[in-house]
Amino acid sequence: MLRQAFRRSFSTTTTVRTLSANNTPSLTVPLSYTKYPASQEDHSIHNAPLIVCHGLFGSKQNWRSLGRGMSSRLRRDVYTLDMRNHGESPHAELHTYDAMANDLIAFMEKHKIENPILLGHSMGGKVVMTTALQHPHLVKKLVVVDIAPFSLPLSNDFASYIDAMRTIDQANVKKQSEADQLLQQIEPDMGIRMFLLTNLKRQPDGHYKFRIPYDILGKALGNMGDFTNIASTVSYPGPTQFIAGGKSNYCKPLKQYPDQVKAMFPNYRLDVVEGAGHWVHAENPDVFMKYLIDFVGQKD
């Protein structure tokens, strides 16, 4: 599945009020982010800000170009986040959708962001759906990129990538090309390898190491295919857009089970980018942006 599919910073953990569906205490981490502010002229419109959540093994870095473009073309502030255990955000043993939804709510509270539009890709898509289902009054609109609101098993490729990262770290490589050579042994697709290697960072001693805690993420893989257990009992009534790649496996359940999708997101639409895979926003950013502008609009 993954082979077809892939194509400011804090360091502490803090406790905030309980926001999970089952009202159990939760620790949140302060998320690293980049803000792409609207122009001074556009700020006078007071459009709802847009918050972007990336997918597994991704980071806010992947959304740098689109972040600027969305801010300009949608005429609003755009925040791209590093989810827990990714990018420059803190690491935490618990890596679940409830935990990441709580992080997102805490981020909104800390930065006084009210009624935003939430956009999430893949893992991030399940984070924003979880947030909207648990706290529908806090979300103005929802954009879900190439993931369905169902429990689906992850490909074994994810575990292979975890093993490869561990092997590369143990090899103490001094060049990214050396890491790429090791990664080629399990992944022939250059695009996937380059994506994974965005997590490889040069250390003070000259060696390259992965910045993500792959052991923590490896333990969490069994839960990443799941979806919130409250989905059968609650719904998000706000405007919802699913943008899917026509060649992506994640597009199929959205087409096959529209009634189940509608039960959770009664005000939803599905836009398909034909010819694109899981990384629809990277593979065809022009069509992706066209659909996004049509849904979000340039003035609230």
Tell me the residue type at 225: G
The DSSP 8-state label assigned to residue 294 in this structure reads H
Tell me the residue type at 18: T
| Active-site residue flag, 215 | yes
In whole angstroms, what is the distance from residue 121 CA to residue 6 CA? 12
How many C-beta atoms lie closer than 10 Å to residue 14's C-beta?
12
> Which residues, in sequence order, are CB contacts of 170 under 8 Å at separation 6+?
none
For the chain, the C-alpha Rg in angstroms (whole number) is 19
Helix residue ranges per DSSP H, the chain: 2-5, 40-43, 64-74, 97-110, 123-134, 157-171, 176-183, 190-197, 214-224, 251-256, 258-264, 280-283, 285-296
* Catalytic hit among 122, 235, 248, 281: 122
* Catalytic hit among 9, 215, 232, 294: 215
* Catalytic hit among 54, 86, 95, 278: 278
Cβ-count burial 133-169 (b if 16+ within 10 Å, e if not): bbbeebbbbbbbbbbbbbebebbebbeebbebbeebb
Give 293: exposed, middle or buried? Use CB within 10 Å, 0-12, 13-18, 19+. middle
Cβ-count burial 94-119 (b if 16+ within 10 Å, e if not): bbbbbbbbbbbbbbbeeeebeebbbb
| Active-site residue flag, 278 | yes
Catalytically active residues are 122, 215, 278
